[in-house]
Structure 1
């Protein structure tokens, strides 16, 4: 990896579970928890038998990992780097609002995350805007937090053939996929679909989650004729759905988290070379500009703005036919670019020192 020797110390507790968010039933949950508990002594024993490494990288979700690893890493004189990716407090309490900020569970999550942030020497988020949030929330020095784009797996999301010609009377296909959580602004999408339910647009939604019941009830009461909803498709099949779409959707919530992150789907769609509509935010501006061909940025939770963006895309679509999109963006989110950025953030750019990846989750 860019001149760095990467050694993995890992135990899998999620084997056979493709969608972790849909882990249902006490037996399954207890099995995962027991596997998790058993994994730690094995990991620590394995870690202590390994040579000293300059840096130990703890991946997402590593809140407990980094706390347990900290004393052993200090004994060996290794730097602990933690790829936070998302804040539990921001996600559970502020964005999904599963508990009020005064609830004991919220306070526990905050303390847990505060302690974890003190155990790591270096921490990484997916955008600078997200890192700045974490600095403010936990009163950390700016220099402790870095940012590395998530990027996309090119093997799963290769560059597709450019858009082909289409008759003006043919409907365009708009694709959204992801969890039905507040971050994604599903209601904004449904409102736009209802406004453009005139046969000029075919809407495809793929996903399920927290808001699924409310959205289902709303659509049952007031159906959208040209909307198709699939609860789930295999990860490997997503690129086929992207290929069938004329344009794909990102996120539309007005929450602080939505303003701070670039969703995985945005990287995947860009990697595939399909046009994208998503909310404007400080985070997305770290990657794209509004004048990038094939990118349409809209104000959050604004269904009329989404409708206008779709109409603009229809008008501009002939100019995108046969044209490969996002050449420079695809280079910036490639595995190589992500690796170089990671090495730089860890102080390992083209260095012969070793970095070790530790953790028990996939």
Structure 2
């Protein structure tokens, strides 16, 4: 099939769409990318909700990108009708344009996050507030323009089904080849070295960065645990206040993607999410798949969605429980046998289930794929 990947997505910032595209190509599909990155992250889009006077600038930039995408889309249509159009992550507006440009061509929307869910999760609006109702309307419009909706966990399907959707496909986030290629960087570290754990993200309530900070503050030098926190966002200031000048905690505000991959691959443990919000109970974060692919053991919150994907190959703690998180890190710093077992089992699961080809398998079943390259 010829599939058009369409939109203003930025795969360097949000790698989900890159994994989907790589997976489709692994299934021997002809994927044409028509992409004009908008340059607005999720956090910056959330800021627009708080500071609506910035909306004209956002709208102007979006229109410029769309003008280019219209030209590219019409040119692609002259080549012949594509079999499907994939609208990448953060495509709530792009999917509307895709419907206008490609007409009756099946549209697949990667609905990794909902606009309303993101705003509610970050405490920026209530469902009945004007902001909340606007976000709900944006979600409804985006979903109405799609023929197939892709989500990342089964826990998100019932809410869409209640709205009448029956064409929902669950595709795990997965990890790109670069993460798998980096695996093994920490294999030769000595047993006497401190346990290395890493968290990377945008410090949102969903991620539970303050829980990680409280756990770090509980650790003593004799616990032999080092934690690296990468990124910056909503809860960064509070997390920094909690940790203070703890000698075992390192802060890095930004890394290029390739540098982040190399760093994560040198760690023993990748920390997932620990938030207590409703959304935190529905998702399996990208960092969990990436850390697993890079060869780390995974420690994350004990939710149905994460257990459903990670099984018994991860270490779990109750959401928001800093004491339990600190205890698990202490245990793994002493019990290197368990640490090695978690790393090995999670690496095997990642190679079996988290590759790009496996991530898109449910999508291929929905839109009618052909034999994967590796199975020919």
What is residue 108 of structure 2 aligned with on the other side? 81
Q: 1:274 aligns with which of 277, 296, 304?
A: 296
Correspondences of 1:291-310 after superposition (within 5 Å):
292=313, 295-310=314-329
1:210 aligns with 2:234: yes
Residue aligned with 1:204, SS: strand
Call closer, same or farther: CA 1:33–1:328 in 2, change over 3 Å: closer
1:151 aligns with 2:141: no
Call closer, same or farther: CA 1:341–1:262 in 2, change over 3 Å: same
Q: Distance in 1 between matches of 2:327 and 2:284?
A: 22
Q: Distance in 2 between matches of 1:3 and 1:244?
A: 31
What is residue 117 of structure 2 aligned with on the other side? 90
What is residue 314 of structure 1 aligned with on the other side? 333
Call closer, same or farther: CA 1:350–1:144 in 2, change over 3 Å: same
Q: Distance in 2 between matches of 1:47 and 1:109?
A: 32
Give the drift of 1:343. 0.9
Higher helix share: 2
Call closer, same or farther: CA 1:127–1:161 in 2, change over 3 Å: same
1:334 aligns with 2:373: no
| 1:157-182 alpha-carbon deviations (Å, 9 max, x no partner) | 422245446455x4322211111111
**Kept in 1: contact 2:203–2:235 (CA 8 A):** yes
| 1:139-162 alpha-carbon deviations (Å, 9 max, x no partner) | 123x31111111111224422245
Call closer, same or farther: CA 1:112–1:21 in 2, change over 3 Å: closer
Number of residues of Structure 1 aligned to a counterpart in Structure 2: 337
Residue aligned with 1:252, SS: coil
1:112 aligns with 2:131: no
Normalised to the residue count of structure 1, the TM-score between the two structures is 0.82
What is residue 249 of structure 1 aligned with on the other side? 271
Call closer, same or farther: CA 1:244–1:81 in 2, change over 3 Å: closer
Give the drift of 1:223. 3.7
| 1:226-257 alpha-carbon deviations (Å, 9 max, x no partner) | 21111111111112222332212010012221
**Kept in 2: contact 1:2–1:339 (CA 8 A):** no
Give the drift of 1:41. 3.1
Q: Structure 1 stretches of 5 or more lacking a match?
A: 352-362
| 1:62-82 alpha-carbon deviations (Å, 9 max, x no partner) | 2222223325544xx422221
Give the drift of 1:261. 1.2
Q: Distance in 2 between matches of 1:106 and 1:19?
A: 20
Give the drift of 1:303. 0.8
Give the drift of 1:43. 4.0
Call closer, same or farther: CA 1:257–1:229 in 2, change over 3 Å: same
Higher relative contact order, structure no. (Cα contacts within 8 Å, ≥ 6 residues apart): 1
Call closer, same or farther: CA 1:333–1:234 in 2, change over 3 Å: same
What is residue 135 of structure 1 aligned with on the other side? 161
Q: Distance in 2 between matches of 1:52 and 1:165?
A: 54
Q: Distance in 2 between matches of 1:330 and 1:172?
A: 24
CA RMSD of aligned residues (A): 2.9
**Kept in 2: contact 1:2–1:349 (CA 8 A):** no
What is residue 66 of structure 1 aligned with on the other side? 95
Normalised to the residue count of structure 2, the TM-score between the two structures is 0.80
Call closer, same or farther: CA 1:318–1:101 in 2, change over 3 Å: same
| 1:91-145 alpha-carbon deviations (Å, 9 max, x no partner) | 112x111223232122111112112212211110112122334334xx123x311
**Kept in 2: contact 1:11–1:39 (CA 8 A):** no
Q: 2:128 aligns with which of 93, 97, 102?
A: 102
Q: 1:284 aligns with which of 281, 306, 331?
A: 306
**Kept in 1: contact 2:27–2:357 (CA 8 A):** no
